[in-house]
Structure formats: structure tokens, C-alpha cells
Amino acid sequence: MIGAVLTLLLSAEPAPRTTVSTIACQSVAECWLDSSGKPIARPKKLRTRALPKGDCGKNLLWLRNVLVCEQNVCVSRFVGDAC
């Protein structure tokens, strides 16, 4: 009985942490992440730049989160990392 419960608990995948903003968008190019991983409107000074690629250094925030434009709002999903 205990083994079955432990197997069930260990096999269950946690729900991804998703943050939905009120920032309207037509594409992910209009979205950005703030320092806590929440989606915000892309700052004007960064509009011509590509989204940062995540790495285990200064871009750890971008490795841990996936930024998308869903249903015309910016959405951030925490995915974790391998660092």
C-alpha cells in the first residue's frame, strides 16, 4: 500500500507555473520578462533586439522561463533549468 502511494507521488508531474499578464500582444516580439520572470511589455529600447537565449550565467531567467503570446496576451511559463 505504501509503495503504491509513493510510486503515485513520484510519478505525478507538478503543474507548470504560468503567469498570464494583462499586456496585449500580437506576437511574442511585444513581450519581455521582468527580473522576477513575470511577463511585461517589451521596453522601447529593446524592441529591435531578439529575445535573449537562456544560459547558466547572466541569462538564467530566460533559461528558466518560456515567454509566449497566447490569446493576445503575454504569458510566462516556468520550466526550470539544468544548471
pTM of this structure: 0.73
pLDDT of residue 43: 94
Any domain includes 41: yes
Question: 40 lies in a domain?
Answer: yes
| Domains of the chain: total | 1
What pLDDT score was predicted for residue 1?
Answer: 58
In a domain, 10, yes or no: no
Per residue in 29-51, pLDDT (tens digit) is 999 999 889 999 999 999 888 88
Residue 3 placed within a domain: no
Question: In 10 A of CB 68, how many CB atoms?
Answer: 15
What's the rounded Cα separation, in Å, for the pair 62 and 80?
A: 10
Domain range for residue 55? 16-78
Do residues 38 and 19 lie in contact, with contact meaning Cβ atoms separated by under 8 Å?
A: yes
